[in-house]
Chain A
């Protein structure tokens, strides 16, 4: 991985000093050229992953993280891109595998991938009004009509918020038991009835 060339050719690039693999923040305008440089000149020929991310404490709320793998050099590189105005250029033309990943990032976060060949939702149905992995979206969901109007008319069913029953149940931290999962009260069992 030739970091010096990447940094000199794309001056807006920032080395994030990743602990597990070389990590860079790339400007959105440089993304296509940087991915093409890594693919054609550095041998990063496989797009291992592309995902959206949300940072509530940063000026640009959404970002995209790409993991590229060099199958010959057996090394990874990670690229961070900030989605300025929720927009990021699509890399589907360079790595066809990015197509569905970008559709998922659009579906879940609402990040628009400019130049995407097929910018539809992939998990939720077309016309669903929200992007469910955004942090301001409640886990239980928001009530909207069913996608099929005729089925909704017959069944009277809507897309309802799920009953959370006091959840979501999040660990409060502290010491974790290392024993096998078992009942707290071990004084009775099938052979020994409860006193």
Chain B
């Protein structure tokens, strides 16, 4: 958390914390990332290892892997995306609720990797907007955790969290009090 987000002095302000709505919303979002594991190849094995006890992705508040896109807000594309699979990846992305983020895990998801071939999509950013690219073939779980922390950093610094413009349309989040 950036210090300036909260101006809190208990002697002066008692039990009241003053902040910006964006900062609170971003803080909540960044510590409750629900990833949707789009495991397509060997990167998915490292993704599974990240969820295990040794690397323990839950230390960073993103262990709630959901296999339904409607319950997830961060798609981790782990593996080679073929043109045949590209349609599925895009549809699953479309089914995720706003706000949503995409992590391209590994060389294949980022650029097509070693597959310079007629069958392989040359980077998942050709069909969905990607927020974080993670290098490696496959990346170590530490690299995935680092990438996910970068994503948290990005979420924390997003402006206009309640009103985001995405591909020409505006998505508004309502706060019900």
Within 8 A of B (CB), among A156-172: 157, 159-165, 167-168
- CB-CB < 8 A to B91: which residues of A? 148, 151
- CB-CB < 8 A to B115: which residues of A? 162
Is A146 a contact of B86 with CB atoms below 8 Å?
yes
A62 to nearest B CB, angstroms? 19
Complex CA gap A154/B89 in Å reads 13
What 15 additional pairs, Cβ within 8 angstroms, besides A151-B87, A162-B118? A123-B84, A132-B119, A138-B118, A140-B116, A147-B83, A147-B84, A148-B87, A148-B91, A151-B90, A151-B91, A151-B127, A155-B126, A157-B127, A159-B118, A163-B122
A176 to nearest B CB, angstroms? 21
Is A146 a contact of B117 with CB atoms below 8 Å?
no
Query: A132-B118, A141-B118, A167-B116 in contact; A159/B90 too (CB < 8 A)?
Result: no
Is A151 a contact of B86 with CB atoms below 8 Å?
yes
Residue total for A at the interface (Cβ-Cβ under 8 A): 26
Is B116 a contact of A124 with CB atoms below 8 Å?
no
- CB-CB < 8 A to A123: which residues of B? 84, 119
Question: Residue-by-residue, is B119-130 near A (CB-CB < 8 Å gives 1, otherwise 0)?
Answer: 111100011000
A34 to nearest B CB, angstroms? 35
Cβ-based interface call for A33 (8 A): no
> How many cross-chain pairs have Cβ atoms below 8 Å apart between A and B?
59
Question: Residue-by-residue, is B96-123 near A (CB-CB < 8 Å gives 1, otherwise 0)?
Answer: 0000000000000000100111111110
Cβ-based interface call for A125 (8 A): yes
Complex CA gap A8/B170 in Å reads 78
- CB-CB < 8 A to B122: which residues of A? 160, 162-163
Partner of A164 from the list B84, B86, B90, B116 (CB cut-off 8 Å) is B116
Complex CA gap A70/B91 in Å reads 47
Is A161 a contact of B118 with CB atoms below 8 Å?
yes
Is A142 a contact of B118 with CB atoms below 8 Å?
yes
Complex CA gap A132/B82 in Å reads 14
A-B contact pairs, 14 of them (CB 8 A): A123-B119, A124-B84, A124-B119, A125-B84, A139-B118, A141-B119, A147-B83, A151-B87, A155-B126, A155-B127, A157-B86, A159-B83, A162-B112, A162-B116
